[in-house]
Amino acid sequence: MPSTYTTVQGDMWDMIAYKVYGNEKQMRELLRANERYRHMAVFPAGVTLTCPDAKSAGRNRFLPPWKE
């Protein structure tokens, strides 16, 4: 089940991915899960984002599951 993250002033997609997943490369998954905020580069405080499960967020969509 996805969790949520509430932004603090100045958060950026890569910073949020690092805080939530420990890896800024997961920001693409955050963007996919939060299309309505895609236009924001720097967040104000109080925006609630949906965070996909870390397991599904880390999957490489180009590899079949048995090669991940």
Full-model pTM: 0.76
Domain boundaries, the chain: 3-51
- 14 band by pLDDT with thresholds 50, 70 and 90: very high
Bridge-based pairing state of the strands 48-51 and 3-6: antiparallel
Mean of per-residue pLDDT scores for the chain: 85
- Write the burial class of residue 1 (CB in 10 Å: 0-12 exposed, 13-18 middle, 19+ buried): exposed
- pLDDT at residue 16 greater than cutoff 70: yes
